């Protein structure tokens, strides 16, 4: 197994143990602020305001996923609507991200459609763009159906995400083409079995560039979500060679990760957005960040030792 994928698999496996979760939640909360804007919407808006001052736009995301009952899904929807209304009042670009499982996708696609429809009815007239996040592989099919259904109902300020580590993604890309999607391209951060996903980082990176170039050739607007300097440089070279203007795509990174690179790209004239998560349900998000780089695990260990 590729060492990077072995590391990620190990971290996600250990992080799933209840005793580890309790330890991190009680002793490493200081580390959370490196990657999470805070637990309240007000804290997240302050972070977004500061990023705007640096030329970096914010993608605001209320943390939470995989709800267990309809009441919880409806409660999440109310908080997402609160986010949409708050963002709509800001003078900077209006952009939010949400997970289908927050809105009850695991319970019923009909429920998820109903709740997402109500969010989009609030967001679209206010000029708020909504990105429908992609979760782990069992939820991909339902998420794509949800996206297509909303587009067929006439909602245009809705984007989708594709993950380059899944075998199925190129087929999904061509299935989505008739919808002319605003596409966020990511490598993928979930622990997936080798039957459905590449485990070799070189192949994942190659697929990332392959899919991104296909999308640009098709004239789609693509958000390249990566911190990898090599991949960023290749996207820039390809776009320049193909005569694609900087306005035809963008780069997206995570809040707290390579902020200097975010500012530098913005200064070069590229659109750059930082994914700004907030909320009390931060543990699953944090574990996926830890699993991305061994350096992040060292930060956790230092935080635990320091209390």
Active site residues: 133, 184
C-beta of residue 277 within 8 angstroms of C-beta of residue 65 = no
- 3-state SS of 89-117? CCCCCCEEEECHHHHCCCCCHHHHHHHHH
Rounded to whole angstroms, how far apart are CA atoms 227 and 274?
Answer: 11
Rounded to whole angstroms, how far apart are CA atoms 239 and 248?
Answer: 9
Distance of CA 287 to the CA centre of its chain: 14
Please give the angle made by the CA atoms of 18, 21 and 26, to the nearest 5 degrees.
Answer: 125
Q: Are strands 129-132 and 271-278 parallel, antiparallel or unpaired?
A: unpaired
Task: Please name which of 111, 97, 107, 101 lies closest in space to residue 135, comparing C-alpha atoms.
Answer: 101
């Amino acid at each position: 197994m590729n060492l990077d994928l072995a590391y990620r698999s190990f971290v996600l496996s250990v992080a799933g143990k209840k005793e580890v979760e309790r330890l991190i939640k009680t002793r490493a909360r200081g580390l959370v602020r490196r990657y999470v804007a805070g637990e309240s919407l007000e804290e997240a808006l302050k972070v977004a305001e500061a990023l705007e001052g640096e030329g970096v736009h914010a993608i605001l995301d209320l943390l939470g996923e995989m709800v267990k009952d309809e009441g919880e899904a409806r409660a999440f929807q109310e908080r997402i609507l609160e986010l949409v209304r708050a963002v709509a009042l800001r003078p900077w670009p209006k952009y939010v991200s949400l997970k289908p499982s927050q809105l009850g996708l695991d319970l019923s696609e009909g429920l998820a459609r109903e709740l997402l429809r109500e969010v989009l009815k609030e967001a679209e007239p206010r000029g708020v763009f909504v990105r429908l996040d992609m979760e782990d592989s069992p939820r991909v099919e339902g998420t794509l159906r949800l996206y297509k259904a909303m587009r067929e109902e006439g909602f245009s300020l809705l984007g989708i995400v594709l993950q380059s580590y899944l075998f199925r993604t190129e087929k999904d890309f061509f299935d989505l083409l008739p919808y002319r999607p605003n596409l966020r391209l990511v490598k993928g951060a979930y622990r997936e079995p080798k039957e459905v996903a590449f485990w070799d980082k070189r192949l994942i990176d190659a697929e990332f560039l392959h899919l991104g170039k296909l999308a640009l050739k098709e004239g789609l607007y693509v958000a390249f979500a990566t911190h990898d300097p090599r991949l960023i440089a290749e996207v820039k070279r390809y776009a320049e060679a193909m005569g694609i203007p900087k306005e035809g795509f963008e780069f997206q990174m995570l809040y707290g990760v390579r902020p200097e690179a975010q500012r530098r790209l913005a200064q070069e004239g590229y659109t750059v957005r930082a994914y700004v998560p907030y909320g009390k349900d931060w543990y699953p998000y944090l574990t996926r960040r830890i699993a991305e780089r061994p350096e992040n695990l060292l930060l956790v260990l230092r935080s635990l030792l320091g209390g």
